[in-house]
Amino acid sequence: MNDGLDVDELVDGIGLDADEIAWRKEFVGFDAEDERRLSRYEDAFAENAERIADDFYENLTDHEQTVDVIGRSEKGLEQLKRTQSAYLVTLAEGDYGEEYFEDRARIGKIHDMLGMPMKHYLGQYGVYYDLILPLIGDRLVDSLTDRLAPDGADAEVDDATAAAVEEEVDDAIEDLLSVLRIVNLDTQVVTDTYIQSYSEKLTEAVERNERLMAEVEAEVEAPLADLRESAGGVADSAAEVGDAAEDQSERVAEISSEVANLSATVEEVASTADEVERTSGRAETLAEDGRDAAADAASAMDDIGDAVDEVAADVEALQERVEEIDEFVDAINGIADQTNLLALNASIEAFRASRFVWSAMPL
């Protein structure tokens, strides 16, 4: 149990530092004179430690409540007695610094960890008084009889005087024990009231926190319900959007295919148009050549009388040019027919694509 106990943290938690210890000593009037007086009993405590420990635990084992607490300890009864004997001797060792009070804090915490009620723990000191004060009484009896003895080293008081001294001392000790017992009982009750007060404050704090948590839970329950409902709606909408997006994607793919086909048709039309343009250029060139030839022929006809052979040759050449022009005209007509057909196909493809695009667009 000691292994899991952090003494430094414990004394820090209860504020038991050097200043606090000094204040407590001053408050109860504990000073160097008290230390000197206590140290005189170190030998007496050591000599009687074992007997006092036996008597101490004999009293504890006579009560069912304290027996239950003893049973929770990891130590056996004999180990507890040895620990108690060592504790008794430290009361009179004369060293009452921080280490002494840290050890006392550790002892108190261990008893708390064992679940010992405060009335048991404080009540133990009443038992201690009963066991320790007689030792002080015995010393007082010896001191008084020595002082009452007649002069002389071997002188002794008579038996009647010694008996009277012992009786008076014992009676005074009993008076003192009576005072200490009632003070101990008062201390137990007062300590219980402090503990009860702290317990009530703690209970009130816990109940206040529970009420606050209940209020917060009630306040957020409705929004959470709305949020859960909204989340469900969002999930459904997301599914619908996903389906629509998939359908739209398929339609876009179809449109892309149609556009690709249309683009191919347009390219084909453009290629045909280029060929028409080239053929037209050649035809225009040939026509120009024909006009030139015709002009030459006309000139030759005006001069027919001078060069009949030359006119014949020019007419033949003109005929050849006309035949070439006819061939190119036929080619142009063929190309024009092909161009018209391609244009018609392009128009049909464009119309189909436009209809598909409009049908694919969401309303």
How far apart, in whole angstroms, are the C-alpha atoms of residue 241 and residue 246? Answer: 8
**C-beta separation of 41 from 136 below 8 A:** yes
- Taking residue 169's Cβ as centre, other Cβ atoms within 10 Å add up to 21
**Maximum distance among all alpha carbons in the chain?**
203
Burial environment of residue 157 by CB neighbours within 10 A (0 to 12, 13 to 18, 19 or more): middle
**Predicted pLDDT at 241:** 57
pLDDT at 152 over 60: no
Question: Of 139, 45, 143, which is closest to residue 94 (Cα–Cα)?
Answer: 45
**Dihedral of the CA atoms 107, 113, 114, 117 (nearest 10)?**
90
Span 15-27, pLDDT tens digits? 999 999 999 999 9
This prediction's pTM: 0.53
Dihedral angle computed from the Cα positions of residues 196, 202, 207 and 209, in that order, rounded to the nearest 10 degrees = 170
Q: What is the pLDDT of residue 282?
A: 65
When pLDDT is averaged across residues 249-275 and rounded to a whole number, the result is 56
pLDDT digits (tens, 9 = 90+) for 76-106: 888 999 998 999 999 999 889 999 999 989 9
pLDDT at 47 (0 to 100): 93
More reliable by pLDDT, 358 or 346: 346
Q: Is the pLDDT of residue 126 over 60?
A: yes
| pLDDT value of position 326 | 66
Average pLDDT, the chain: 77
Sign of CA dihedral 163, 164, 167, 168: negative
Asked whether residue 132 carries a pLDDT value surpassing 50, the answer given is yes
Of the candidate CATH numbers 1.10.490.10, 2.40.110.20, 1.10.3080.10, 3.30.365.10, the domain formed by 7-147+162-221 belongs to 1.10.490.10
